[in-house]
Structure formats: structure tokens, C-alpha cells
Structure 1
Amino acid sequence: MDIETLRRDTPGCAHRAHLNNAGAALTSRHTLHAVTSHLELEAMIGGYEAAATAAESIEHTYDALARLVGAGRDEIAVVENATHAWDMAFYSLSFQPGDRILTARAEYVSNAIAFLQTARRYGVSVEVVPDDESGQLDVDALRAMMDERVKLISVTHVPTGGGLVNPAAEIGKVAAEFGVTYLLDACQSVGQLPIDVAEIGCDLLSSTGRKYLRGPRGTGFLYCSRNMLERMDRERMEPPFLDLHSATWTGPDTYRVREDARRFENWETYYAGKIGLGVAADAALDLGLDAIEQRVTRLAGTLRRRLRDLPGVEVHDRGRRQCGIVTFTVEGHDPRRVADLLRSRAVNVSVAVAGHARWDFVPRGLETAVRASVHYYNTDEELDRLLDALPGPVTGH
């Protein structure tokens, strides 16, 4: 990669060391121009007319996202964000009392709340699969928990509060073996890791635009396999929300849900953002996801190693395979204060909190941790800035 050119194409790199890419990455000039140009077009000729004029660019986004995850364009829905994508998938599924949902210990808060709401509403059981010795989901334990009552395996690929990468493809093999629906939250992995839905074996996959894909905020997408679409039709499972875009009013008291994944969309959408999302996906594909993963993993590995060399600093990342998210604490310092200190010195990081990962953080005795997340446009010099700005340990605290 030509890092200097990539950084020149990323305006924010001139002002800050942006190490909060798991929150929202910096957009490129190309993506920014795609979004603002369409907004200007809407202002000049009208929103409906702008959408008609830009129809080719809007449709291209489906092709780009399909290539990004190894899907067909009819298996892609573009929606407002990853949570909405995940919710539209999850709340389309049918559950009965006694059904079981299996998930990972490092599951995201919004997904966990949806599980618990469904458990309360339908009497299903939500069960957390144990971790293995590395901290990732234990695939052997998952297999041992399977029976005819398991209706869903739902896992976060890359948890928000740590650097591990769950074994998505191995989980997919278990799901296929037992014929169980598999929903993968790929919010933090799309854009930093190669994703192939056929290799993973998931029925449904949700992701966002704003994180490692470097797309606009307010954009996300859902993959729904053709097999899952056909099964939903057979079993009369429908998205929880339908409108004139996702379904057709066929008679005074009848309607028909559309056949492709766009049944999960609604009519009104953020067209400028949708175009920008396609531009961001193209950029990731042009760079190559293998090359992106290699650079991101190297930078994150360097940061972990250097943090471990500092007195009073503890790194909390687990997993056999690790990615661009690095979590750590400094002895005697509240992680929120550390994040504020870094921000005051033009180094962007975030804070991971137990309330977003109770099944993971609480058993490990963690309440909060500083979360630094690197991307390919970051540099070793920016890692130096973070390390140099950290406070020293306060012993005996």
C-alpha cells in the first residue's frame, strides 16, 4: 500500500492520530465527495429527481457489497445501520416456548437485549457457549450443546470490547451439521478482514458502513442467503416491518413480500449515504482485504507488544486470532480519564465498558478499558503518539 497517498486521501489524518476506527473510521475524499455531491444534487433538482439521475450509482452499491462478502446482489439489503440490519434479520425468525438460542460470551449489548426480550416474550432459552482457553468461542462446547431445540446460533465475529476474532467458519460447520439458522454480526470485521459468506456458512450477516469499511454514518447492510429467503417464504417468516418497497399490495386484503433481500429495506433511504457506501466498498476491494488485514494486524500487534512493555499497563485482548482492536488499562487511572487525556493530545481512542459486554467483561473483573483500534492508514508514528501520551502507573491505588 502507498500509505502516504492513502493518508493524503484521508483529510482527518492531517489533524489527529485517529485510533478509534472500531467506533467510526475516517472517510476518504472520494467517499466524502460521493456523499456531498449527491446532497448538492438533491438541493439543486430535488430528492426524487436526484435518485433517478443517480440510479446507476445507487444500484452499483449492491454489486460492490455483494463482491465484498462473496454474495449475490439479490442477497444484499442496504439499511440504516448494522443494528437495524441485525434486528430485521433476528426479529424475522420464528420462536416457540422451549426453543434455544446459543450465543457467545463476548456478545454485543444490543444483540443480548434482543435475545432477552425474545426470551421474555416467547419463553425461549438464551444460553452462552463457553470460551476455550484462548478466550474465543469453544467450538467443541458448541457442538456438545446442540440438540433439536436449538433454533439459532448467533455470534459476533469480532467483539466490540477486544481484539479476538471468533472462529466463524468453524461455527458455520456446526450450524450446517445440525441444520440450525446461523446469524453472524460482522459489524467490526467487514472492511478489516476478508469475508466470504459461503466459506463462513452463515444464513444471515449484518454489518455497518461507518467502521472498518470507512463508509458514511447512517449506513449498513444485511446479507440473507437465497436458501434462507426461500425458507422464510416456505415457513411464512417475514421481516417485522413491511412497506411499499419491501412488499406489494396485491388486493384489498392481500400483500406479497418481495423475493430478494430488499424485503428487509424500507422505501425511504439515505441515498447519498448509500452511494458513499458503495464507493467505500469499492475502495476496500481495490486495496484488497488480505492486504488490509495484514497491515491492520501488524499495527495492532505492534501496539499490543509495546503496551505490554510499559510498566503498569495491562492488555486485555484474547483469542487465537486477533485483529485491529486493542484494549488495555493503566494502573491507577480510570480508562475514561485516559481516553480524555489522549483526546486532548489529538489521539482518538474509545472506552469499552462492562455494560456493553456483561457476559465477557464481568467474569474477567473488568469494568472499563481503553480501546484503541487501528486501520491501514495509521502509522507507527501515530502509535508513538499514543504511547508517549499515556500517564504513568499509580502504584498502590
Structure 2
Amino acid sequence: MTKTNKITMQEIADRVGVSKYAVSKALSGKSGISAVTREKIFEIASQLGYLNQKTIKKIQSQSTSEQSDKIVCILIPNIRSQNKESGYWGKVLDGISKTLESEGIGSIIVSDDNPRNFNLVMKPEGLLGVIGVGLVSTPMLMELRSKAIPFVMVDHEDEMIESDTIFMNNVDIMRKLTNFLIGKGHTRIQFVGNLRYSRSFFDRWTGFRSIMEENELPYLHRNHALLNVIPSLREENTNLLLTGLQSIPTSEFPTAFVSANDQIAVLVHNALREMNLRVPEDCSLTGFDNNVDIVKDFPTLTTINAEKDALGIKAVDLLIWRLKNRHMPYEKVLLQSDLIIRESIRALTESNT
């Protein structure tokens, strides 16, 4: 092999626009790199004098079509608005797809998490790994584990199956939000959202509850209807929300509502309006996600900016790390979030408590 000491894989990676990891795989004849990207890497490596043509041809002859054709499956079951058109999930998908492309790794999106159907279209020997986005069924995860296919979960985990996972740091940012409301004079604060809907919802509830307990403030009314509301426009769900709100005595009515996500915040806003209550004049209101689909229609909503693209980017990074470290313990990565203060919050004074 002919190469100079001055040229490094990182320089080749910078020229091609991929990672050093992708260059290493291509130059060692390993799978997971698309044919187009592989050729670009060889071309730049040759131009820079890192490899001569004889060595390149030898590597190319060792790389089988089966190896170079291996791809990553992006598994996103089309439930709970988990699809490419979603203002939330679509951004996560963009982060995954663009990062895989920059790494020279091919991908395919699969929206069915039925193990039988999955096996009809995907063969384990053709997969580098799987990135699951949102809720994926336990049987599907068990199938992946049984076939020893490396996989990473985004915004979901399953107690039955250990795996690498990526979440926003829901607990800490919800503590910050709740502390902010208390600092604005709010002591009657109500969380709204089904705690069993997702792990993220439960973690947001945990962050909220911990701050309320630390400040010795009540946080749970006898009527638990508000803790069973889901982000859905179904009539029974909106009725549940309205019934829960109307059951709270006037003297105990919250001055602020903390919603599990932006969609639920919209439902709360609509229900309060039906009760002739205004946001923020009568009640402050917050959401979570900074979902572009919702914020464009509710631009005054105070919310948490979930870094959707970053979730996807980190998922790819973690999968690549897992492929190189298959025997290391599974990791749970938490990304930090930002609190976005808008006009849906109002500081309390003695006159409006």
C-alpha cells in the first residue's frame, strides 16, 4: 500500500463530505457504503496519493456486491401520526436520512412493524441495522433481537427488550419549566396528558411532579381524567378533557396548565375557551415539542424545543458506534432541550390569583 504520512483519512473524508468512519470502511473493503460514495472515496484517495490504483483495484475486487448493498432500515410504524408528513416525526426522519446519506449508507423506510410482513420485504443478511422511530411493537423488537440485528430506538423503549435508545431529557427540562411557572407566582398547576401514552409523557410527568413535591405544592386532583388525555381529536378524548376540567372546584381551579405535548395544549386551549376562560388572562398554558404544525396556528404557545433533527442524527451516530462495539453495554442518550417562552404564560399578582 502506497501512502504518504501527510495525508490522513480525515482529509479524504473532508474532501468527499463523509465521515472518517465511512472512509475507513470503504478503504478496508467493508460493507455499508454505497457504490457511488465508495467510488468518490477511491477517487480522492488516489488523487491525494493515499492509495495507488493497484491497491484500489485489489480492494474493489474484495468488496462483494452483497457487502456494498447492505442498508439501514428506518422503521416508523404509521400510528399516532408517526409519518414523514408530521411536523415532529418528519424532522426526526430528515435527521436520520441525511446523516445516513452523509455516511454513504443506503436506507429504506418501512412503516409496518408486523414481524411477518417485515420478514417478507427485509432479509437480515441485507441489513446493517435498524433505527426504530417512535412506538414499535414488542413482537417486532423481539424479532430483531432474535435475528441479532443491531437496532436503536428513537423516543421509545421497551421494558421487555434491552436496546440503545435516544430521548430528549424530558425530566430535567420539565423541572425547569415547572420551576419557571412557580417563579411567576403559580402554585395551582395542573399536568395534562396520559402517563401511559409513551415513555416521554411519563418522564415529563415525573419532572413536573418532582418539582411540585419539592415545593410542597398539590399537583393531583381527585378526578384523574386529565391524566388520561391523549393527543387525539376523537370526541371521547375531548369530552374526557372537558369533563375533567369542569369537575374541578372554582376555588381549586389551576392558574396554569402543563401539557404533555403541543397537541394536548391545543386541546386544553379549546376546552378552556369553551368554558369562557382565556389564555393567558385567566390561565397560563404550556406545551412540549415546538411542533411546527401546531405553532404556526398557535404562535403564542410557550413550549419546549425538542431537537427533532438532532434525535435522528444521534440515532445514526449510536448505530454506527454499536456496529463497532457490539459487546458494550446498551446506552440511553439524553439530548438537552430549550425552554421557549411566549405569550401563553402570565405572571400572577394578588389581583389575578
Normalised to the residue count of structure 1, the TM-score between the two structures is 0.32
State which structure, 1 or 2, has the greater radius of gyration over its C-alpha atoms: 2
Higher relative contact order (CA 8 A, sep 6+): 1
